[in-house]
Structures are given as structure tokens and as C-alpha cells.
Amino acid sequence: MTTWSHRYEFVQAIQFAALGFWVPALLTAGAPWERWRLTRVSATGEIVGGVWRKRRQVSQGRVLSLTALFVSVSIFWRLAPIVNGLSEHEWFVVVEALTLTGAGVAFMCDVIESPPLRPGVSRPYRIAISAAVMWSAWVFVYLEAMSHVSWYRAFRHVAGRSLSVSADQQLSAGSVWFMTGVVFVPIIFWSLIHWLQAEDDPDDELYRLVRQERTRGFFGYRSDGSP
């Protein structure tokens, strides 16, 4: 992939999407924190030690900041001077991997269950920020695909011997659309399904009240109703 990414724009886009979206999503879903000794968990599932000694304190402002950071980093690595630099200097890919994956994992921890870490925002909020990140990537590559000239001078397109400029740009956009969709569409629908399932069921609420009344009557009241 690294070799082909110097020749084709769409391979460079696949590399970008893999480092920025697939790797962070798989790492977060795999929850390797205890194996990597970042956390130590008790039998009850509570964090009792490690680098992360307590659950993260998450606020909506913090989540918005991480989302903005992730979007900014992902857009940065698709700017023309940066992509040209990636094509000319192989070592630059290491920097791309570290920054994209790091920002991606920090963001994904707020939208994916990653025991013992838990997202600190509600599911509707997770749906909104996941959709915002996905759409930001889609809009950027759409503009790139609709351009009449290539944004990146590092890729040479020889007529009749390789992909044309338009074909390379369209494949690049399609690759990013597909790879981001594979990551974010399941996250959005999973959060939506669990959010809908979490809505109060009248029957469940009735059963809960009956159980409470029975428990209170058994422990706190005599048969004549007096305390």
C-alpha cells in the first residue's frame, strides 16, 4: 500500500481512511487497555489501578473539543501540501499514523463502549457527533472528486498508461465514503437501536412499581397497614 500510495491518489486515500477510521475503531472496540496495563480492573469491573486509575470525567464540552480536534487532524492530512509530502517522504507516514490514530482513539472512546472505559455522553449525542465526523469526511472528498484538476501534484497521470485524473479522484472519494461508512453507519444504528430500546416501557414501569410496593409492604409495614 505504501508503494502504491506514491503512484495513485485513491490508494493514498485508502491508507488515510484505514489509519484515521478503521484502526481507531477496531482498537477502541477491542478494549486492550487492561492487556496494555493502562488499567487494572477488579472482579466487579471497577478500575483500581494502572495509568487510568479512574473513569474519565466526560462533559459535552470535552467531547465537542475532541470531535473538533479529530475533524481538524483528518482534514489536515488531506490538504494538498501534506499529501504531496506523504508521497515524497515515506517516513512521514509514521507521523500520520500516530496523529490520526491517537486523535481517532480519543474520539472513539466517547462513541464506542470500550470496557472498562465508558462513553460519558448520551446515545443521541453519540449519534450526532458520529454523523458530523462522517459527513465532514464525505464533504471534503466530494469537493476533491468534483474538482476539474487534481489537488495533488505528486501523482503523475499519464494518458493511456495509468488512471486518468478524474478516475483517480473518483476512486479516492468512493474509497473514503465506503470506509467511513463501514465505521460510522454501524455505530450510528447501534446507538439508535439501544437508545430506542432504552425508552421507558409502560409494562416495565408497572412491574417496577409493583415490585417496589411489595418490597416496601414486606419490610416496612404490618398486615394492618401500620408501620
pTM, rounded to two decimals: 0.77
- Give the ranges where the chain is alpha helix by DSSP (H): 9-17, 23-30, 60-76, 80-88, 92-108, 123-146, 165-197, 202-220
Q: Where residue 221 falls among pLDDT bands split at 50, 70, 90?
A: very low
Given pLDDT bands bounded at 50, 70 and 90, which one contains residue 105?
Answer: very high
Q: Are 5 and 15 in contact (CB under 8 A)?
A: yes
pLDDT at 136: 94
Which residue from 14, 66, 31 is spatially nearest to 182, judged by alpha carbons?
14
pLDDT over 90 percentage in the chain: 39
Quick check: 56 pLDDT over 70?
no
Rounded Cα gap, residues 44 and 145, in angstroms: 51
pLDDT at 222 over 60: no
Read off the C-alpha cell for 189: 444504528
What's the pLDDT tens digit per position in 194-211? 888 875 454 555 555 555
Banded model confidence at residue 223, pLDDT cuts 50, 70, 90: very low
* DSSP string computed for 18-39: IIIIIHHHHHHHH--TTTTTS-
The pLDDT of 178-201, averaged and rounded, is 86
Give CA–CA dist 53/43, Å, rounded: 15
Q: Which of 39-43, 69-73, 109-113, 194-198 has the highest mean pLDDT?
A: 69-73
- The mean per-residue pLDDT over the stretch 61-77 comes to 93
DSSP assignment string, 141-153 = HHHHHH-SS-S-T
Give the model confidence (pLDDT) of 6-38 as tens digits. 778 888 899 999 999 999 999 999 988 877 777
**pLDDT higher than 90, residue 139:** yes
pLDDT confidence band for 129 (50 / 70 / 90): very high
Mean pLDDT over 110-115 rounds to 86
Biggest CA–CA distance in the chain, Å, is: 95
How much is the pLDDT for 43? Answer: 63
